[in-house]
Structure 1
């Protein structure tokens, strides 16, 4: 099964409300998870850690705004089982979207080094060397979807909550 990274759009007003009541985040995520017509749910699948590494050269963090693209910024909940949910405000979403549009997939492809990714323990471990070009293509395909997700969220002035499940 494994771990996937999910992204859920919401209004800035709803994010502000959830920040005031972090105990309600779990219920919001799992109750609204794809069932709210106004919310968009996006699943980066198992590509999240590889994309994080290619964008930032690190397994976590990085310079803003690209450092926010995969894991978000501020924690907005308690541990959901695989860590807390994190969020991006609407202005942060716009900044991430712009930065992702300026980062072509070809630049990520040039950063792909299977041996370094294995050594850094980039999840899911084991596939970078064994799958090689197929693993890179998997990351680039999902990167394109991530760019589109953020572009759509930014175009609609949405905030984002991200979480691993």
Structure 2
């Protein structure tokens, strides 16, 4: 379904657009679901999938992120917590990793849990790496530059993101 078709179905007013970026006026995204095993991300409103994307993951895609530099993508429930319009990967949407549990685990082992996990585009670096290696990030979730423009417009801070193995 296209964004235009989704916009026609909406009865709720859309949040104020972020200047100079795509706008979205369809049903609100109430959850982001990432399935690492199938490399798919879904933007969900209630029980309906609005959009789905193929994704790239961290360069060590199996297992839950535990420490800074491990190359893994987190697993579990997090939240969209920020937007970066100046990302080196075109645009990026922040994921609230690490949570309290992640911090406690890493600290118990005298390690740093890492951070700066995002859903992001490819940008020049990813466009060079992605054709050769689908899982090229340091732990983030990557889509194409065109797709991150849609995601950036559709999600809001506070939306839960569930990342499944």
TM-score class, shorter: 0.3 to 0.5
Q: Determine which structure has the larger strand proportion and give its number.
A: 2
Q: Determine which structure has the larger helix proportion and give its number.
A: 1
TM-score by length of 1: 0.34
